[in-house]
Amino acid sequence: MKKTYQISRRRAAENFRKFALTTPTPIQLTFPMADIAELAQTSLGDLLRGVGKAFIETVMEAEVEQLAGKRSQPNPQRNIYRWGIEDGYCLIDGQRVPIKRPRLRARTKKEVPLGSYEMFQRSSLLNDTVWQKIMLGLTMRSYKEVVQQFADAYGLEKSTTCEHFVEASRKKLKELLERSLAGLSITVMVIDGTVFKGQSLVVAVGIDVSGRKLVLGLRQGATENASVVSALLGELMERGLDFTKPRLYIVDGSKAIRAAIRNHAGDAAFVQRCQVHIAGRDPPFQRGGTSPPGQVPMSPVAWGQT
């Protein structure tokens, strides 16, 4: 039942969007002068937020009139009726602000969702706002005290803020790992494993012709093994990265990473062992000697000198 209602809400939002695009009649906002004077004495921000709340209520009433017709006008063809109001909320400046939501019902006694209310209530708007502010250095513990601008706003506690940040981060990560890599001129790729919160991750970072670094992708695995690295490179290939072009690959001493690179890039791969990993260690081959196949030779100055 809950899933069916969620589908109805999405359809209602889409129907309202179509209605708004095809309706030439503008929204006329009425705001009592006394309220304007009272809010203006506090601050211009309070006035603008109050007007925004009134605007949302006006838009919802316009949709109700479009679905159920005007008040006190008999219509035997009417299939949707007004059914009172109830407490709801909308999102303004990343805050949940209480509003009165009109209710509608069909002849079958089923609830008819408002598309405008669904749009003004979209959690993605709050998720993006929370994510941006947290990434700029605002802590979850102080989020409420810093951003709360409506006296009656709610949903800004630490636990709620954390949930929105996690959801927004999940969306950002999905976009990062699914974006197209076709057309990127990657001349250098750095591949290495790292441990984060007890989880082993293999990360690929690309460097383009201008020296700009780009996170290409990452893969979670129990260890830094060949199957995990191969899966990561396979995903990069599916997203459009061309492995037939000659490219410098910077890696540590992991044989698994080398093997995966060789399987995907073949002779187009030029492998260089990262100097940071071997600082204080013996070089894998003698100075002046020959490099292993596919590896870029390093000068004596590069070994152990910073």
pLDDT tens digits, 227-240: 888 899 999 999 99
Name the pLDDT band for 216 (thresholds 50, 70, 90): very high
User: Is residue 105's pLDDT more than 60?
Assistant: yes
Residue 95 φ then ψ, to 5°: -130, 145
The pLDDT of residue 288 is above 60: no
Q: Has residue 142 got a pLDDT over 60?
A: no
- Regarding predicted confidence, which is higher, 128 or 69? 69
What per-residue confidence (pLDDT) applies to 274?
A: 72
Greater model confidence, 13 or 103: 103
Helix (H) or strand (E) holding 194: strand 186-196
Is the predicted pLDDT of residue 278 greater than 80, yes or no? no
Exposure letters 262-290 (e unless 16+ CB within 10 A, then b): eebbeeebbbbbeeeeeeeeeeeeeeeee
**DSSP secondary structure letter of residue 154:** B
171-184 pLDDT, tens digit each: 888 888 889 998 88
pTM of the model: 0.49
| Per-residue model confidence (pLDDT) at position 184 | 86
Please state which architecture CATH assigns to domain 186-302. 2-Layer Sandwich (3.30)
Which pLDDT score is estimated for 7? 74
pLDDT for the residue numbered 144:
56
Q: At what angle do helices 44-68 and 33-42 cross, to 10 degrees?
A: 140
- Angle (CA) 263-266-271 rounded to 5° is 95
Instruction: Give the pLDDT confidence of 26-44 residue by residue, as tens digits.
Output: 777 777 777 777 766 666 6
| CB 254, CB 202: distance < 8 Å | no
Enumerate the domain spans of the chain: 1-121, 123-178, 186-302
| pLDDT category of residue 213 using cuts at 50, 70 and 90 | very high
Tell me what the pLDDT averaged over the chain comes to.
75
Please give the average per-residue pLDDT across 158-180, as a whole number.
Answer: 79
pLDDT at 294: 44
Report percent pLDDT > 70 for the chain. Answer: 69
Let me know how long the chain is: 306
